[in-house]
Structures are given as C-alpha cells and as structure tokens.
Amino acid sequence: MSDAPGLEVVGVTKRFGDFAALSDVSLRLHPGTVHALLGENGAGKSTLVKCIMGFYHADAGELLLDGREIKVGNPRDAQQAGIGMVYQHFTLVPSMTILENLTMGLGFRPGRIDWKVERAKLTAFLDTMPFRVPIDRPVSSLAAGEKQKAEILKQLYLQAKLLILDEPTSVLTPQEADEMLGLIRSMATAGQLTVLIITHKFREVLAFADEVTVLRRGKQVGGGKVSELSVPEMARLMVGDQASRDHAGREEREPGEVMLALTGVQALDDAGGPALQGVDLTVRRGEIVGIAGVSGNGQTALVEVLGGQRRHQGAVTVGGEPFGATREEIARHNFALLPEEPLRNACVGRMSVGENMAFRSFDRAPIGSGVWVKRGALRRHARDLVERYNVRTTGIDAPIMTLSGGNVQRAVLGRELSGEVDVLVCANPVFGLDFSAVADIHGQIVAARNRGAAVLLVSEDLDELLELADRILVMSGGAIVYETKRESADRQSIGLHMAGHA
C-alpha cells in the first residue's frame, strides 16, 4: 500500500446567500494521523467536508494534497485523488450484496461480469484488511455495524488513502464503535491512511484522535494536539461562552403508581419479520425509564405500537386500562408522544406551525367549539407555546416544514406537553440537534417527570440515557434483555447487552 497523504485546507469560505456557512477555515491533516473535526450541529463541519469532497464549491480557499494544489469539482474527482468519505446515512445499495456493491464501485463495465475473478480480487483485498464482512448477503440483511464496516471497506477498496468519516459511530454499539475506530486508528498509525473524523463525542476524540479542530458558527475557534487539550476546554471551544438554559434540576422523588405497562407485546416489522418478541415493561409516575439499544432492535416498532401506528399482540395498559391509542383514550389518559422524525411522524409539513400545534386540542375547548375551530384561540395557543418553548419560526403561519429540525422538535414537544401529562413517550428526542436545543428539550422532559409524569425515553444515545433516566432497560432482538438502575449503571455491561452478547 502506498503512503498516507497529507491534506491542507487553506482559508476556505463558503456562503449560502447572505449566510456564511464557513469563513476562512484552515486545517492541516498530517499523514498517517486521525484528525477530529468537532462542533455543534450547524457549526459548518458538514459544509467543510462537502467542500473537500466536491459536493460544494468553496467561494474562496484552496486544498493542498501532499503540498500540491488540487481542484475537486465533484465527488468523482475526490475519489480519483484518493479521498473517500463514509456518510452518516448508508450509501450501499440495500438489495445488492457487498460483492456486487463493491464491484460496481470500481467503475462501469457494461458486459458480463466474471464473478469468479471479482470474488478472488475482493477476497484477496479483504485478506489484507483488519476486519471482515459477509460478502454474499444482501446489504439490507446486515447489522448496522457490518454496514458501517462495509462502507469503510468500500472506500478502501476504491483506493482511498484519505478517509473522511461523518459521525461514523452513531449507529453502533460502544463496543462496535471502539473496535471500528481502533482498527481505523491502527491503519493510520501504520501509515496506510489519513483520517478526518466528524464527531461530537469527546470520548472518541480522546481515545482515537491525534489532533482536533473545533468549529463554531462556521469559524475555526481552536484545536491542536488532543494530548494537550482537556474536555472542558474542548467543550468551551465548541459551545462558546453563551449560557445555555439550565437543565431543570431533577428532584429526588420516589416513583408513584404504575402508569404505563406492557405485557408480552409482539409486533411485526414492515417486511413481516418479528420486530417485538414479547416486551414487558412498566413505567411509574415520576420516573424516566430509558430504553437503550442499537437502532433496528425493535425500538421503532415499540414507539409505533404506543402511538397506534402498528398492530400488535399483547397488552398495553395506561393508568390500568387497556390502551389502543384512540383519540379519546389519548385525551382521557393525558398521553403525550414525541416520536422520532417528528416532521414525518407527528406533523403535517405543509400545514402551519399554529395548526400543527393544535392537533391535540382543536376539537376541545377553548379552541374547538362544536364543529367549529376558533382561529383566534388557536393562534393564541400557538403564540403562547412558541414563546414558552423557544420555537424559532418566522411566525405561527409558516408551514412547519420550513422550520429547522430542532424547532420542529420543540414545537411538537410543546404541543404534547402543553396540557396535563401523565404519560410521555419520547423517541430520540434530540437526534441531530445542537447544544442549546438539547438542553432545552432535556430540561422539558425532566420537568415533566418532576411534575409526576411517567416518561418512557427511547434513545440510541447512551450518554443521554445515563444522564436522564432513572432506570435503563436494554432492548435487543425485539425484547428487553437487561435492566439497571441509574446509580448502578455500567457502560460496559449495557454495551454487551446491546450487542446481544451477554
């Protein structure tokens, strides 16, 4: 293998209209190192790597690969220069095998493909790699960790010497993440690769990166050798000195009576396979029960069952009564739900912010009166929620799809929490949000718990659960496989159960 290259980014500026997404950002990747790019959502990390990959064209600045200036007009150019990127979403074709995917990546040959030759070529390549993937199963049947490895292998198979990883561990168990990053790191140390990794997890920066660059609001605000920086310093660089709203402090309180109970709940996934295989759990008043797990282990189906979006067998009770998520039951039990991807699962994108915020209450006083909806009351309700929950919008008449992800999340949470809440179900409530939004939303969830709501919090972010939950349940293969109290929670054993290894 040839040597890892060095890359210099000099004074890159990128504007979208009046908005400067990047202003005069420079960074230097030394050959054979792992460089972390740290920053909040919206800090410009993605914009920067998209400029490097040729998806965007920078307004100013240049790229130097091993000291020579290169022009990257499109992703193909980047690939030719030996720069490969692994995206947050998977880019392998789901219905095709890894062999087919990687062979097609090599370039287009219209005629017959000699699978014997291709297989031999790929096998020979894989023998030189530190990790292994099954090459003959359709990608759609692989676990997230295997897919992520396959994505990396694809880039290496396409001769990438400089690898850009965009939040590569968000879908992996802690063990898988450590394994994957460890392998990448060892390849860098061996001089085979130079790596730029986008992340917001300090743990990964400390454990696997040599150097770090911190971006905030499109500007480079600091960086250096990881060994010379502390976590508080990096955190301060990342969020700046702006005071985020305080977390609602969690009050010490004994949980009350059982509000939400699931017994032997089973459900099928979209492909007709088992998604939930007998889930038993209870959530009591005044406690947050966290559901940990690698995505794709039934969490989505669980939330869909609770939201009435998926048929199931087994008993779901709220407040001791059978619960089928009808509108009447939801209102009677003060049931609130913040599903994942709320714009898709809990909103009508083209309807206004105000209308979306009234979805729970438009048929009840004060907004509803007989068959009429009182626009005045609806608007007052919306304005009040926008204020209370810091929803940043151009107005309550704007279609909700024009809001940023964090503000859609705030708007839905505001709608769900606006009345009395006895049961709150949240799924990945802060996925992809920036620091201040995370603090806001976490505060609201804890405040609901403090007021006596029973909260079920489904999250793929273990740190979030360790911070918020009173009890953590681990879901694997469609069932609850492990339970631990917050005080005695141990990252290692949770991770093992997430992976289904214990």
Partner 1 sequence: MAAEALGWWGVPLAVGAGAIRVSTPFLFVSLGEVVTETSGRINLGLEGTLVMGAMSGYAISFYTGSPWLGVLAAGIVGSLLGALHAGICSLPKVNDIAVGIALLLFGTGLAFFLGTPFVAPQAPNLPSIPLGFWSDVPQIQAALKVNVLFFIGVAAAPLLAWALRNTGVGLMIRMVGDNAEAARAMGYSPLTVRLWATCFGGFMAGVGGSFLSLYYPGSWSEGLSSGQGIIAVALVIFARWRPMYCLWASLLFGGAGALGPALQSVGISQGYYLFNAAPYVLTLVIMIIACSPDRTLAGAPGELSITK
Query: Under the rule (CB under 8 A), what is the footprint of partner 1?
Result: 75-76, 91-96, 100, 103-105, 107-113, 115, 268, 270-272, 310-311
**Taking the complex as a whole, how short is the minimal distance between the CB of residue 91 and partner 1, in angstroms?**
4
**Taking the complex as a whole, how short is the minimal distance between the CB of residue 400 and partner 1, in angstroms?**
21
Q: State the pairing for strand pair 454-458/471-476.
A: unpaired
**Taking the complex as a whole, how short is the minimal distance between the CB of residue 55 and partner 1, in angstroms?**
10
Indicate the residue among 106 and 235 with the shorter CB distance to partner 1: 106
- Measured distance CA(421)–CA(331) in Å, rounded: 10
Beta carbons within 8 Å of 332's beta carbon, 6+ residues apart: none
Q: State the pairing for strand pair 211-216/274-284.
A: unpaired
* Phi and psi angles of residue 328, each rounded to the nearest 5 degrees, phi first: -65, -45
Answer for the pair 37, 213: CB distance below 8 angstroms, yes or no. yes
Answer for the pair 185, 28: CB distance below 8 angstroms, yes or no. no
Indicate the residue among 1 and 113 with the shorter CB distance to partner 1: 113
DSSP conformation letters of 449-470: HHTT-EEEEE-S-HHHHHHH-S
Indicate the residue among 115 and 125 with the shorter CB distance to partner 1: 115
Structure-token match 């979306």, residue found: 356
**Taking the complex as a whole, how short is the minimal distance between the CB of residue 399 and partner 1, in angstroms?**
17
Indicate the residue among 85 and 188 with the shorter CB distance to partner 1: 85
Indicate the residue among 302 and 417 with the shorter CB distance to partner 1: 302
Answer for the pair 350, 375: CB distance below 8 angstroms, yes or no. no
**Taking the complex as a whole, how short is the minimal distance between the CB of residue 104 and partner 1, in angstroms?**
5
For 332, other C-beta atoms within 10 Å of its C-beta total: 14
- Measured distance CA(435)–CA(40) in Å, rounded: 7
Structure-token match 């609850």, residue found: 480
- Measured distance CA(44)–CA(394) in Å, rounded: 23
Indicate the residue among 75 and 222 with the shorter CB distance to partner 1: 75
Indicate the residue among 109 and 245 with the shorter CB distance to partner 1: 109
Indicate the residue among 232 and 273 with the shorter CB distance to partner 1: 273
Type and span of the H or E element at 35: strand 34-38
Position 341: which residue type? E
Q: 52: buried, middle or exposed (CB in 10 Å: 19+, 13-18, 0-12)?
A: buried
**Taking the complex as a whole, how short is the minimal distance between the CB of residue 465 and partner 1, in angstroms?**
29
**Taking the complex as a whole, how short is the minimal distance between the CB of residue 248 and partner 1, in angstroms?**
39
Q: What are the C-alpha distances in Å from 347 to residues 73, 342, 408, 416? A: 38, 6, 9, 12
Indicate the residue among 68 and 89 with the shorter CB distance to partner 1: 89
**Taking the complex as a whole, how short is the minimal distance between the CB of residue 114 and partner 1, in angstroms?**
9
Answer for the pair 171, 165: CB distance below 8 angstroms, yes or no. no
